[in-house]
Amino acid sequence: MSAANQVPDPFTLVIFGASGDLTRRKLVPAVFSLFCEGLLPEKFSIVGFARREKSDDTFREEMHEAVKTFARVQPIDESRWREFARNVHYHQSTFEDTSGYRSLKQRLESLAGQSNAPCNCLFYLATQPTQFPLIVEQLEKSEFTRSDSSERRWSRVIIEKPFGRDLDSARRLNEQVKAAFDEEQIYRIDHYLGKETVQNILVLRFANSIFEPIWNQKHVDHVQITVSETVGMEGRGKYYEQAGALRDMVQNHMMHLLCLVAMESPNSLDAGAVRDEKVKVLRALRPIPPVCAVNGVVRAQYTQGTCLGEDVSGYRQEDGVSADSNTETYVAFKAFIDNWRWSGVPFYLRTGKRLPARVTEIGIHFKSVPQVLFNTDPAAPMLPNLLALRIQPNEAISLRFQVKEPGPGMHIRPLKMDFGYADGFGKEPPEAYERLLLDVARGDATLFTRSDEVEAAWEFLTPVIEGCAGWGGGLPTYAAGTWGPKEADDLIAADGREWHLMRRRTGKGAEAFEIE
């Protein structure tokens, strides 16, 4: 990526919603890990912005506990923490209080002055989506949004998903944010794009000449994308009732994965070129009209069952969920990309909560060899080649191919060649938020979503959501701890195929699960 080796300028990270779970579990631990690895500039600061009254010391102690619990490298070096903590501050204000933003500006300029550095600001909106327009408006009123290249002074904003609820709301939000910030200042974040295996899709495809010639409809039978979760609502029932799996997972995570797998080779790896090609994929998706969505998109809801050895309740028994809810916790559907490369190749997507294993995997299923030579028995054809890209857990790449067993007969069996990041490089890959936060500080937008990409994804999915919303019947169900409803199996079986995940261990201890 263009700015991969660039040392970030001095900056202050302002986290709106600093009392929230995202700050505690992901953001501050990620910045601490970057600090410990020497990837941050000498002069940097973190300012937590929230409505609760607390001192700098109180906030630092809270973040100390967060880092001890969630930082990637354990145990933490307490001397390094004390050095890091001097850069951590807290600013109390409500999001509506204009005076709070004015005093924030004075404080940021003071911190920059103490460091003799430009007042570069990175604003992270770790809040409810309903607060995004308000905070952006207040930042503009307080003149936070100006960047000045002559002074080497910049201002950037990071916006968490979901970015809108449908096409119209996404367009409105884009208009509101772009009224205050230029597009190059806006970083719409999806943490999936910070995972090493996701980034490696481009390298795998375009830095290895053995793959690109066969990455098309002549050689690929179909593609499967699976994003499965073992968790239920975890206290997010009220939010999930307004979202559902289509908005929560498909519109962002799964659309990004689809684009990276299907996109054409960009002219370069700079942000604009990569994002141009992703948008082309979204615009080439065959529309699914509302009437077709009702019959062609499988939506389902989990009921009580056993997941990871524990008895768990059904979705409708979760806190914040209506007793007669029709919100989907599982989605499966088939998509087509109408261009020269992928004409006629189905892309099967599925995602769900309370499934048996936490796993995200992309499967490139190649066409079977002809029924000649070794593959002479129509009743027992050889398994086709399969390239599996494991996004999580145990990030890895696997290739299934055929070999002859030792001995006098011609006995053929499939074997798997497996590359794991932890084994291959002797260390666990960094957390996604580490890479993404560092990229924003460097000004590299490659792994972030541009406004036209957001709108193109919503343009494809909004008719699906509208069609499903108009369905008057009840949703299919699946027991927690199973792989989803029968209707999802029927969807892919109708084409003579079946869902597949490469066999491997998906975790450690209680989360370990063997998958085929």
Which residues are identified as catalytic?
Answer: 253
CB contact at 8 A, 281 and 450: no
Q: List the alpha helices (DSSP H) in 157-251.
A: 167-178, 196-206, 237-245
**CB burial readout 344-363, b (16+ within 10 A) else e:** ebbbbbbbbbbbbbbbbbbb
User: In terms of C-beta density within 10 A (0-12 exposed, 13-18 middle, 19 or more buried), how is residue 516 classed?
Assistant: exposed
Spatial contact of 430 and 35, defined as CB atoms under 8 Å apart:
no
Under the phi-then-psi rule, with left for phi > 0, alpha for psi from -120 to 50, and beta for the rest, what region is 443? Answer: left
Q: What is the largest CA-CA distance in the chain?
A: 84
Angle, alpha carbons 358-205-5 (nearest 5°): 85
Neighbours of 397 (CB within 10 A): 20
Strand order across the beta sheet in which 298-303 lies: 412-420, 396-404, 386-392, 359-366, 220-228, 346-352, 330-336, 298-303, 477-479
Q: Among candidates 11, 4, 61, 52, which has minimal Cα distance to 31?
A: 11
Structure-token pair, residue 475: 């949703």
Backbone angles phi, psi at 353, to 5 degrees: -105, 160
- 3-class SS of residue 113: helix
- Phi, then psi, of 104 in degrees rounded to 5: -60, -45
Cis omega before residue 10 (within 30°)?
A: no
User: How close are the terminal C-alpha atoms of the chain, in Å?
Assistant: 35
The tokens for 170 are 């996404």
Report the alpha-carbon distance of residue 58 to residue 267 in Å, rounded: 49
